[in-house]
């Protein structure tokens, strides 16, 4: 089974991006915290946003099971009875 490794990383802080937590601008990917810090350096909640992004990435980036890590999905059974 294939693995899904996510939506790349932020070009500034190298944190993993999750759906809704990144901005693509001029060919670069920014997490929301780095984008806010770039556009509004005096924003009070930048560190809180950065912590929320890290938590979301840790929760969301769980990889799919492989054959060795877990059961295979249910699907059509083989017609051969070896």
Q: What is the pLDDT of residues 16-26, one digit of tens each?
A: 888 888 999 99
CA end-to-end span of the chain, whole Å?
A: 23
Q: Is the per-residue pLDDT at 64 higher than 80? A: no
35-69 as b/e: b if 16+ CB within 10 A: bbbeeeeeeeebeebbeebbebbeeeeeeeeeeee
CA distance 63 to 33: 24
Percent of the chain past pLDDT 70, that is, above it, reads 65
Whether the model pTM is above 0.85: no
Q: Is the per-residue pLDDT at 1 higher than 50? A: no
Number of H helices, E strands in the chain: 2, 2
Residue-range domains of the chain with CATH: 1-59 (2.10.110)
């Amino acid at each position: 089974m294939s693995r899904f490794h996510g939506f790349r990383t932020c070009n500034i802080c190298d944190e993993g991006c999750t759906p809704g937590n990144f901005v693509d601008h001029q060919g670069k990917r920014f997490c929301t915290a780095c984008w806010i810090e770039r556009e509004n350096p005096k924003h009070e909640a930048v560190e809180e946003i950065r912590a929320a992004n890290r938590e979301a990435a840790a929760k969301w980036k769980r990889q799919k099971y492989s054959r060795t890590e877990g059961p295979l999905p249910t699907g059509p059974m083989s017609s051969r009875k070896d």
